[in-house]
Amino acid sequence: MKSILLATTTFREAVRDRVFGLVAAFGLLLVLSTVIISPLTVGARGKIVTDIGLASISLFSLLMVLFVGSGMVHKEIDRRTIMTILSKPISRLDYLLGKYLGLWATLFVMMAAMTLIFACACALTEAEWKPTYLVALGMALCEMTVVTAVVVFFSSFTTPVLTSLFTLATFIVGHAIGDLERFAMVTGSAGMERAADISRFVLPNLDLFNVRNAVVHDLPVHSEHVVWAVVYALLYSAVLLAISDLLFRRREFK
């Protein structure tokens, strides 16, 4: 209950945040731009609209998590309100979990709104709306679930700027783990193979959630893959939040 109350407060603050409004506006604008671009794509209108729409939702969801999530803990440290909160019978794990759930709820609402706009864009461009689009969006939500945990992890011990940079780096490398492993196999370098192994076990494998190309080109997305992706997102986020709690407990506020 304590975490839920903190999550509600975090959600309300994020919704009122100007950054959230700005990113949401640009996200919706980019999705709507598919309506303008689609007449220029003769013969592949549906695929172009789908690809741009799904990519826009993922991109601006990432920006929202970075801009809003990176400063949510530091903002309360600057205002010294965090000492008032932690002086109450609220553990630091409750605090971090509340911030995580509040940011995730904000993310969910934003993605839901953009999905509705995307569906409208499909209707306006005569692109066929398919149930598999929801699979791609669900996988994007799972991906952002992990990224949200990464933001909370870094914000528990470092500054907002570094939190954004470290999270963005984790996002990029998380999508390149498969390429790194293949590159290590081709080069045969022991150092590259060791780096690939460390990256695979430590960093999140975000490429696991990328089914956008399969959905756009009507390729099958197996249910086993979807189930494993959901389980992986929940487990990785839980472990990362537990580590965040250990680091946050060592932090002193004056």
| Per-residue model confidence as pLDDT tens digits over 214-244 | 888 888 889 999 999 999 999 999 999 999 9
Contacting residues for 165 by C-beta, under 8 A, at least 6 apart: none
Contact 113, 24 (CB under 8 A): yes
- Residue 228 included in any domain: yes
Whether the per-residue pLDDT at 151 is higher than 90: the answer is yes
CA triplet 129, 205, 232: central angle to 5 degrees? 75
- Residue 173 included in any domain: yes
Predicted confidence at residue 225, as pLDDT, reads 92
The 10s digit of each residue's pLDDT in 180-192 is 767 667 776 666 6
Which DSSP category does 90 fall into?
-
The 10s digit of each residue's pLDDT in 95-128 is 899 999 999 999 998 888 888 888 887 777 767 7
Q: Which residue segment(s) compose the domain that 198 sits in? A: 2-249
> 194 or 173: whose pLDDT is higher?
173
- Residue 254 included in any domain: no
Which residue intervals of the chain are DSSP H helices? 2-16, 18-37, 45-69, 72-79, 81-86, 92-124, 132-155, 160-175, 177-187, 190-202, 212-216, 223-249
Q: How far apart are CA 150 and CA 13, in angstroms?
A: 20
Predicted confidence at residue 203, as pLDDT, reads 87
pLDDT confidence tier of residue 138, bands split at 50, 70 and 90: very high
Q: How far apart are CA 122 and CA 1, in angstroms?
A: 40
- Residue 27 included in any domain: yes
- Residue that the structure tokens 């940011």 belong to: 103
Supply 13's token pair. 């603050």
Q: Mean pLDDT across the chain, nearest whole number?
A: 83
- Residue 98 included in any domain: yes
Into how many domains does the chain fold?
Answer: 1
